[in-house]
Chains A and B, each alone.
Chain A
Amino acid sequence: MTIISAPAGSGKTCLLRAWADRPGQPHRLAVLQVQRDQHDAQQFWLALLTAVRQASATASRAEPPAATPEFNAPAMVDRVLSELADARGGITLVIDDLHELHSSEALALLTRLLATLPPNVHAILATRRDLRLGLQQLRLAGELAEIRAAALRFSERETRELLDASGIALSAAGAARLHQRTEGWAAGLRLAALSLACHPDPERFVAEFSGSDRTVAEYLLAELLERQPPDVQDLLLRTSPLDRVNGDLADLLTGRPGSERILLELEDANAFVESLDPERTWFRYHHLFADFLRLELRRTLPEEVPALHRRAAAWSAEHGQVVDAIRHTQAAGDWPGAARLLADHSFSLTLDGQAQTIRALVRAFPQGAPADNPELALVRAMSDVFQGRLDEAAAHLAVAETYVEAAPPDRRRRLRVAVAALQLSLATRRGHLAGVVEQARFLASPLAGQSDEDIALGNDLRAVALYNLGTVEAYLGLADAERHLREGAVLARQIGRPYLEVRCLAQLGFASQILPFATIQRRCREAIELAERHGWGAEPWIAPALIALAGTMVWTGEFAEAERWLQRTARALRADTGADIRLLVHMASGMLQAGRGRHHEALQEFGAAEYLGSQLADSHALASRVTGWLLATQARLGMTGEARAVLAALDDERANSGEIRNARAVIRLAEGDPAAALGAVADVLDGTAPVIAPRRCVGHGTVVEAHLLAGLAHRELGDQRAANQAAEQALALAESDRLVLPFAMTGSRELLAALPRHQTAHAALLADILDVVHGASPTANEQSSLPPIERLSPGELRVLRYLPTNLSRPEIAGELSVSVNTVNTHIRSIYAKLQASDRSAAVQRARALRLLSASRTR
């Protein structure tokens, strides 16, 4: 690593540029110049990632870097590191003006990045002052090259060379004096050269310069400014408040045309003006020069300053540069105006990942400015909602709302829209459908006479509204969820909001509850994969897809895999305080534990889910399921008294649901009254009791459970035939989606064991269930140590499913309606591909390679 640490004007950037431009540059360069006063860690890292991508120019599968409201710092560092590592050949990372990074968070991350640079990467940093970057280690190991002010100083000989190159005729003594006066300071020499180049009497200039006690910078800058024609001086002074300037904006501030030409000429004369783009439309002044100009402006034309800022603010706002507009409005002293702009745009800015910029802007407001507080309260509420701090958000919103009706008419509409957007987000997080629908309708309705700005804002809000609406509908199990989420994803893609697109798709995976598991899993995996391509695989908003995926796996008995996904979901949720998703995680965990027969742990999980459900505004779609399983687990643990108490406290509607009826049956069985248990599930079995989502997959779960409970009851009553029939019906219902969980949860091992193998039509499913129930589900660990195999054909996979059973080859042939020869051929091929010598070895291998579960979900 190389660090260039020297004061302003030492020539750091010049050095970097000259070095980068030299011919035969072996390595690719990723160059980033830190923006002035950069507070926003995410913006810095996005810029860095972009620079690295451009340099490595690998056609990476990853999406272009997109911002998110919340910034996951460690994930970002990992992304940058992996891009660096992937770049073939060497890569040099150059970061200039590092002292402008005013985010300690970003600096700490950078330190971490530098400590773990891949071996093919060299980092060069330029800064005005030493920073805490953990460089001491490198220094001691001799791996750090330092270029400090002393090295950057011009020697006397170099001074003469500079003068010669600029075509300045100066005596050796004159050059020596110049060198002495400037002490070899690069900026000083360059400024002197500029003045000397068109000075009639260079020697006199140097004499006067040496004879003055003025500081070098001020003397020479004043000289430079003074020598410019009046229109150029005016331009420089009036555009000095800007961080960057183009011809159009400069014309506006000077009130005269022709600024672009002047700027181009200044750059050509190498006068501390440089263009920022290849087309040379935007320019920037060297920091020293700009600072001096600003001071001079304030000193000579103080009354102009607010007006200049206001004009710059208006221009920036018109050209969509919102942050600049707000900064200029603040600088003009128009705090109410700045607050309004901020309130109007903080939504879009947050979606642009500028949350920290917003916070910095809010901090710039003077304390306790009374009329501005409601607008700022709105901004704060926005920040809170995006970070999941729902109670604070509600409080800030309340303050903002009281202000809305009292606001002047032209503000009211904008404020209403902003407030509606926030209410929508809050209502979604709290599962309050009525609130969501109301706000969503309001936001989705087109408003007449909108500016482009309004439309852009409107699209953002509409996409978010669709997302929120679809989300709540999904939780409440309503049919429109899919349509709204799909619409939201499409709109988000159109308006270039990948963050919203991924969120909609993740929810869509979750909302697909009425479809076969295979479809749900496909959608979830698609959403997760898109998220991972953006580097968002561990973010809280992916949780819906993660939990839906985990849920399907718990239902099909793939407990180990499900557990991994559940853990990943829990990690992704982190500090998110929303009760909605956490409820699902607890429910799925409860199902998992119950499936494994760990009733105490299951009880804890269901209890937690129940509690979270009570915190949601509206009744949750899965409420009766949670309660039902809670009761059943209590009963299985012998806590029938508690179970009855909970049961008694339920309202009639819930008490009549299929899930609760099943729970009643479990309680009866625990109390030793199988006949009553049969009575409890009767309505579920004949289909008169309402069950959750009376559609294909998940709804079957309740009915399957009911059959099993009936079977257990029949067994207790000594009616083995009825018990077998019940078990068979359960298997039949469970077959198409391979619902293994109900069997595991109801402890129906003995019920199934008693089932004569040769009389069941669902031998494969039965075998799978018994595997799971006996705790033989395959783990991924086994898989990784085995060599890969050739793929099995669909026909072979079908036969494979029957291998774990006791069925003979002719029996398998009968099941599959094929000839025995076909089965033999398939089995030979299976043994060969799995490198197995016999049936049990093949089964073991197939399990380890997860082929049996792959054959489960179509």
Chain B
Amino acid sequence: MNPTPARYAIRIHGHLGATVLSAFPALVSRRHGADTVLTGLLDRSALYGVLAEIEALGLDLVEVRQLTRHRKPPGSGDRRSP
């Protein structure tokens, strides 16, 4: 298991308002249709923390996806999630 942080995209059904979003300060949110996608750089502990918060708030978790594996890139940009 690679301990270094990786970029994750976490998809939740429904749009998140300002209050609930404030529970995820390290993540950027974007709306995709009826869902909200939270993206950010997280190590494992942070990832599980986010998942626990989602559970506690009764949110509807749809998908957790790792976007890139951490490499030392010679300046390559982020891959966009489709």
Contact of B18 among A185, A215, A217, A299 (CB under 8 A): A299
Q: Is the CB of B34 within 8 A of A8?
A: no
Residues on the B chain within 8 Å of A9, using CB: 58
Also in contact, A214 and B58, with CB within 8 A (given A295-B22, A295-B23, A298-B22)? no
Asked if B15 lies at the interface with its beta carbon under 8 angstroms from chain A, I say: yes
Q: Is the CB of B19 within 8 A of A222?
A: yes
Interface size class of A (residues with CB under 8 A): 20 to 34
Also in contact, A218 and B34, with CB within 8 A (given A7-B58, A8-B55)? no
The CA-CA distance from A584 to B65 in the complex, in Å, is 63
Closest to A225 in B: B19
Asked if A129 lies at the interface with its beta carbon under 8 angstroms from chain B, I say: yes
The CA-CA distance from A295 to B17 in the complex, in Å, is 11
Q: In angstroms, how far is the closest chain A Cβ from the Cβ of B65?
A: 20
Also in contact, A218 and B16, with CB within 8 A (given A213-B34, A299-B22)? yes
Asked if B1 lies at the interface with its beta carbon under 8 angstroms from chain A, I say: no
The CA-CA distance from A218 to B59 in the complex, in Å, is 9
Also in contact, A222 and B56, with CB within 8 A (given A213-B34, A295-B23, A298-B22)? no
The CA-CA distance from A187 to B56 in the complex, in Å, is 13
Q: Is the CB of B55 within 8 A of A299?
A: no
Which residues of A from 260 to 310 have beta carbons under 8 Å from B? Answer: 287-288, 291-292, 295-296, 298-299
Q: Mark B1-28, 1 if CB is under 8 A from A, else 0.
A: 0000000000011111111101100000
Closest to B56 in A: A291
Closest to B31 in A: A213
Q: Is the CB of A215 within 8 A of B55?
A: no
The CA-CA distance from A185 to B14 in the complex, in Å, is 14
Also in contact, A292 and B19, with CB within 8 A (given A215-B13, A215-B14, A216-B14)? yes
Q: In angstroms, how far is the closest chain B Cβ from the Cβ of A243?
A: 14
Inter-chain residue pair count (beta carbon < 8 A): 63
The CA-CA distance from A295 to B23 in the complex, in Å, is 7
Which residues of B from 40 to 80 have beta carbons under 8 Å from A? Answer: 55-60
Residues on the B chain within 8 Å of A28, using CB: none
Q: In angstroms, how far is the closest chain B Cβ from the Cβ of A542?
A: 42
Also in contact, A299 and B19, with CB within 8 A (given A216-B14, A287-B56)? yes
The CA-CA distance from A214 to B58 in the complex, in Å, is 13
Which residues of A from 205 to 228 have beta carbons under 8 Å from B? Answer: 212-219, 222
Asked if A128 lies at the interface with its beta carbon under 8 angstroms from chain B, I say: yes
Which residues of A from 329 to 369 have beta carbons under 8 Å from B? Answer: none
Contact of A8 among B14, B19, B58 (CB under 8 A): B58
Also in contact, A214 and B55, with CB within 8 A (given A295-B22, A298-B22)? no
The CA-CA distance from A215 to B29 in the complex, in Å, is 14
Q: In angstroms, how far is the closest chain B Cβ from the Cβ of A139?
A: 23
The CA-CA distance from A217 to B23 in the complex, in Å, is 14
Most buried by A among B22, B56, B58: B58
Q: In angstroms, how far is the closest chain A Cβ from the Cβ of B72?
A: 27
Q: In angstroms, how far is the closest chain B Cβ from the Cβ of A761?
A: 81
Residues on the B chain within 8 Å of A217, using CB: 20, 57-59
Closest to B59 in A: A215
Also in contact, A214 and B17, with CB within 8 A (given A298-B22, A299-B22)? yes
- Size of the chain B interface, CB-CB below 8 angstroms: 19
The CA-CA distance from A218 to B24 in the complex, in Å, is 14
The CA-CA distance from A8 to B12 in the complex, in Å, is 16
The main secondary structure of chain A at its interface with chain B is helix
Contact of B14 among A7, A213, A292 (CB under 8 A): A213
Q: Is the CB of B58 within 8 A of A288?
A: yes
Residues on the A chain within 8 Å of B13, using CB: 215
Q: Is the CB of A215 within 8 A of B56?
A: no
Residues on the A chain within 8 Å of B56, using CB: 8, 287-288, 291
The CA-CA distance from A185 to B60 in the complex, in Å, is 11
Most buried by B among A218, A222, A287, A291: A218
Q: In angstroms, how far is the closest chain B Cβ from the Cβ of A399?
A: 29
Residues on the B chain within 8 Å of A212, using CB: 15
Q: In angstroms, how far is the closest chain B Cβ from the Cβ of A583?
A: 47
Q: In angstroms, how far is the closest chain A Cβ from the Cβ of B18?
A: 6
Q: Is the CB of B23 within 8 A of A215?
A: no
Residues on the B chain within 8 Å of A128, using CB: 55
Residues on the A chain within 8 Å of B55, using CB: 7-8, 128-129
Q: Is the CB of B15 within 8 A of A296?
A: no
Q: Is the CB of A215 within 8 A of B12?
A: yes
Contact of A214 among B14, B22, B57 (CB under 8 A): B14
Q: In angstroms, how far is the closest chain A Cβ from the Cβ of B77?
A: 30
Q: In angstroms, how far is the closest chain B Cβ from the Cβ of A149?
A: 11
Closest to A300 in B: B19
The CA-CA distance from A128 to B53 in the complex, in Å, is 13
Residues on the B chain within 8 Å of A218, using CB: 14, 16-17, 19-20, 57
Residues on the A chain within 8 Å of B22, using CB: 295, 298-299
Q: Mark A176-218, 1 if CB is under 8 A from B, else 0.
A: 0000000001010000000000000000000000001111111
Q: Is the CB of B19 within 8 A of A296?
A: yes
The CA-CA distance from A187 to B22 in the complex, in Å, is 22
Q: Mark A1-28, 1 if CB is under 8 A from B, else 0.
A: 0000001110000000000000000000
Which residues of A from 591 to 649 have beta carbons under 8 Å from B? Answer: none
Q: In angstroms, how far is the closest chain A Cβ from the Cβ of B49?
A: 13
The CA-CA distance from A299 to B34 in the complex, in Å, is 24
Q: Is the CB of B19 within 8 A of A295?
A: yes
Closest to B18 in A: A299
Closest to B17 in A: A218
Closest to A216 in B: B14
Q: In angstroms, how far is the closest chain B Cβ from the Cβ of A220?
A: 11
Residues on the A chain within 8 Å of B14, using CB: 213-216, 218
The CA-CA distance from A128 to B34 in the complex, in Å, is 25
Q: In angstroms, how far is the closest chain B Cβ from the Cβ of A462?
A: 45
Residues on the B chain within 8 Å of A299, using CB: 18-19, 22
Also in contact, A292 and B57, with CB within 8 A (given A215-B12, A298-B22, A299-B22)? yes
Q: In angstroms, how far is the closest chain A Cβ from the Cβ of B63?
A: 16
Closest to B34 in A: A213
Residues on the B chain within 8 Å of A219, using CB: 17
The CA-CA distance from A214 to B20 in the complex, in Å, is 10
User: What are 30 residue pairs bridging A and B, where the CB atoms are less than 8 Å apart in the complex?
Assistant: A7-B55, A8-B55, A8-B56, A128-B55, A129-B55, A187-B58, A213-B14, A213-B31, A213-B34, A214-B15, A215-B13, A215-B14, A215-B60, A216-B14, A216-B58, A217-B20, A217-B57, A218-B14, A218-B16, A218-B17, A218-B19, A219-B17, A222-B19, A288-B57, A291-B57, A292-B20, A295-B20, A298-B22, A299-B19, A299-B22
Seen from chain B, the residues whose Cβ lies within 8 Å of a Cβ on chain A are 12-20, 22-23, 31, 34, 55-60
Seen from chain A, the residues whose Cβ lies within 8 Å of a Cβ on chain B are 7-9, 128-129, 185, 187, 212-219, 222, 287-288, 291-292, 295-296, 298-299
Known contacts A218-B17, A218-B57, then 15 further A-B pairs from the complex at CB < 8 Å, ordered by chain A residue: A129-B55, A185-B58, A212-B15, A215-B17, A215-B60, A216-B14, A217-B58, A217-B59, A218-B19, A218-B20, A222-B17, A222-B19, A287-B56, A288-B58, A299-B18
- 7 closest Cβ contacts across the A-B interface? A215-B14, A213-B15, A8-B58, A299-B22, A217-B58, A9-B58, A218-B20
